[in-house]
Structure 1
Amino acid sequence: MIDDVHQLGAGIRLRPTVLADAASRAAALTRSRAYMKPWEPERPEFFYTEQGQRERVAGLLADREAGRVMPWVLADAEDRVVGGFDLNAIVLGPLRSATLGYWVDVEQAGRGLATAAVRRICEVARDELRLHRIEAGTMLDNAASQRVLAKCGFEQFGMAPRYLHINGEWRDHRLFQRILHDGPVTGAED
């Protein structure tokens, strides 16, 4: 199921990231650059190029092989990337946790795709990775992302002052978590 393609509706699929996504990711990120600017770190111009995204995706795939990251994309009917979703900092053992990050193309925003994708990723994290919890952070004024997390069962558990360097400044973040299960860890690979 981790490698499965999941239909989210309206011709949009959630699927694993592949290296061939580089050009399409670059186009979507460039198209959405102004829209996402308030919520993103400052990025060099290279980040928005096909080669920049090829290097980014190659790093994500290497981290996936090492068990540290699970990267997915939203893809439209033409298989163009219209969003990215990553479970980062995957830790097994007694913690069994990961951090969720995501973005959606400006042309697809407000259609419920982030909510559908986050719900599906939580299922995979619980059932396939056997994670206990997922956490996510949003800037204090990112109400849209906070709504996505609330709809997906995340609860705020704290606030982190000057948590990430976003759009040129250290920004405070609300911290959210979703407990996926309270079952035993036995039988889980570490």
Structure 2
Amino acid sequence: MTTRVPGQAWPNVLTSGSDPVVTVRPIQASDGAAWRAARQRNLAWLTPWDATVPPGGDARPTSFRSLARRLRAAARRGTNLPFVIEVDGVFAGQVSVNNIVRGSAQFASVGYWIDQRFAGRGVMPRAVAMVIDHCFTTVGLHRVEVCIRPENTNSLRVVEKLGIREIGYAPRFLHIDGEWRDHRIFAITKEEVPLGLLARWQSSGGDVSAVE
């Protein structure tokens, strides 16, 4: 079991809230059964937004165990932070920090999905805010992007609630659900949330967009 280690970028566990308790922790091979059950249960809910491999692209892992192994290896290299989300100790989805760039950029992107039965309870905004705060503090990043298909209203609502600004539009940006899809681009920098994104979201009553 991964423990909370102050000042450690990876592996680590992040926790917030009391009703429900939202925990963000590293993905593990033992998550396989819960992950497969959630993905199967939410097949129609998630498939339109799932990344796919374009013709000629590298093959994706064929099992959860190989997927978890690949993600954890990337975490050890410092290029990705693959977290899962738990709600009151129950597997609820994933939030991942991808494509970490160091040097002059200190940048990464964040992606996420949630089991539909946990949607609408503020779980995903809380989890994303915790992870971005972790990126800005312990990981030492300066800027985080979130790229979302224009049709994905549920994911768009997450960045709206957190007050993450839209900065651009990328035509045919990622291969999603079998085609190259356009994406709206949102970004936030460390200077925008000096007290932390989670604290800003909480102080807004759970919807920064409603008070801006």
- When the two structures are superposed, what TM-score results if normalisation uses the length of structure 1? 0.84
Structure 1 gap segments, 5+ residues each: 183-190
Specify the alignment match of 1:92 in structure 2: 102
- 1:66-145 equivalences in 2 (<5 Å): 66-77=77-88, 79-145=89-155
Partner of 1:151: 161
Partners of 1:11 and 1:178 in 2: CA distance: 25
2:79 is the alignment partner of 1:65 = no
- Whole-Å Cα distance in 1 between the matches of residues 68 and 165 of structure 2? 30
| Pair 1:167–1:132, CA change in 2 (3 A) | same
The residue number in structure 1 matching 2:43 is 33
Gaps of 5+ in 2: 1-5, 54-59, 193-212
Q: Deviations over 1:85-129 (max 9, x none)?
A: 100001111100001011001211121111000111111001101
2: distance between equivalents of 1:155 and 1:11?
27
TM-score (norm 2): 0.76
Alignment RMSD, CA only?
A: 2.1
1:168 lines up with 2:168 in the alignment: no
Alignment partner for residue 53 of structure 1, among 53, 64, 69?
64
Identity %: 32
Moved over 3 A (4+): none
How many angstroms does 1:23 deviate by?
1.8
Q: Which residue of 2 aligns with 1:4?
A: 13
3-state DSSP class of the match of 1:95? coil
Counterpart of 2:184 in 1: which secondary structure? strand
